[in-house]
């Protein structure tokens, strides 16, 4: 049985706790509020501390664990393992997913990116990860940071494009609902097709008339700029010039 202490009480902590509770061979022995002082549970010492707090808080929270014998991992995609205390057995356990308390997550499908300082600790961390998910990756720091950067494009920026779609609908008194089947299909399409194959639209087919009409429709200069830049980028990808 792997004993786990989770530091933090946000979305990642919430989903992690739920997934650990359901998994075989894992148990949560402590959930620690990141604002309170971390007192080691000496009667039921955790094998692993999972620091699931915001990026900025990792360093100060983890400092309190500088004398622990347990493995200490954080869950951030972009923070160095070295933000954890120096003399501790340290590592990273980065679940690549967007968590919110409102939506259920099938943790078995969440890719987990693992990193350890000492190779000896990889066995334990992998055992934990494999009990939780079918999708476990050993990643270097560089790879993890790249994955986090790629995630910003496909999640944060994509959601912002949804937001822009929503704005355009609202301005024209069209319910945003109308775009939802397209949004889902766009995401599902790349399960069987590489994005470069799935690309469609006026930019891809060099349809300058439609591009021009769209730019005339857009009143907001910020949206014009985004439209122009992404259109140019698609054109360049396919070797055409506007």
Per CB under 8 A, which of residues 87..126 are in contact with a copy of itself?
96-98, 100, 102-103, 105, 109-111, 113
CB of 21 to a copy of itself, least distance (A): 21
Residue 92 host element (H or E): strand 89-95
Compute how many residues bind a copy of itself; rule: CB under 8 A. 90
Please, which of residues 183-242 interact with a copy of itself by CB under 8 A? Answer: 183-196, 198-204, 207, 210, 213-214, 217-218, 222, 225-227, 229-230, 233-234, 236-237
**Shortest Cβ distance from residue 75 to a copy of itself (Å)?**
14
The residues in 136-155 that bind a copy of itself, with binding defined as CB under 8 A, are: 137, 139, 142-143, 145-147, 149-155
Asked whether the beta carbons of 15 and 132 are under 8 A apart, the reply is: no
| CB neighbour class for 241 (10 Å; exposed up to 12, middle 13-18, buried from 19) | exposed
Smallest distance, Å, CB 185 to a copy of itself? 6
The phi, psi pair for 217, rounded to 5°, reads: -70, -35
Decide whether 88 or 129 has the Cβ nearer to a copy of itself. Answer: 129
- We find the least distance from the C-beta atom of residue 146 to a copy of itself, in angstroms, to be 4
Least distance from a copy of itself to the Cβ atom of residue 47, Å: 26
Going by the DSSP 8-state scheme, the letter that residue 24 receives in this structure is T
Binding positions for a copy of itself, 1-40, rule CB under 8 A: none
Instruction: Compute the radius of gyration of the chain from its Cα atoms.
Output: 22
Residue keyed to tokens 């620690």: 32
Structure token pair of residue 190: 């790349």
For the chain, counts of helices (H) and of strands (E): 9, 7
């Amino acid at each position: 049985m792997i004993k786990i202490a989770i530091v933090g009480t946000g979305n990642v902590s919430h989903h992690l706790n739920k997934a650990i509770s359901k998994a075989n061979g894992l148990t949560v022995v402590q959930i620690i509020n990141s604002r309170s002082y971390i007192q080691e549970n000496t009667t039921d010492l955790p094998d692993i501390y999972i620091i699931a707090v915001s990026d900025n808080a990792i360093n100060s929270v983890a400092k309190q664990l500088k004398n622990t014998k347990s493995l200490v991992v954080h869950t951030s995609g972009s923070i160095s393992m070295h933000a954890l205390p120096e003399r501790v057995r340290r590592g990273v356990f980065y679940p690549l997913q967007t968590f919110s308390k409102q939506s259920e997550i099938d943790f078995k499908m969440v890719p987990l990116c693992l990193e350890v300082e000492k190779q000896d600790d990889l066995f334990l961390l992998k055992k934990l990860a494999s009990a939780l998910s079918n999708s476990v990756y050993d990643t270097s720091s560089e790879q993890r940071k790249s994955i986090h950067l790629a995630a910003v494009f496909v999640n944060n920026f994509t959601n912002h494009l949804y937001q822009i779609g929503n704005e355009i609908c609202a301005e024209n008194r069209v319910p945003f609902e109308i775009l939802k089947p397209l949004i889902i299909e766009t995401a599902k399409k790349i399960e069987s097709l590489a994005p470069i194959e799935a690309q469609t639209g006026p930019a891809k087919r060099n349809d300058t008339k439609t591009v021009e009409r769209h730019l005339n429709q857009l009143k907001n200069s910020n949206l014009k700029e985004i439209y122009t830049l992404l259109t140019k980028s698609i054109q360049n990808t396919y070797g055409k010039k506007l």
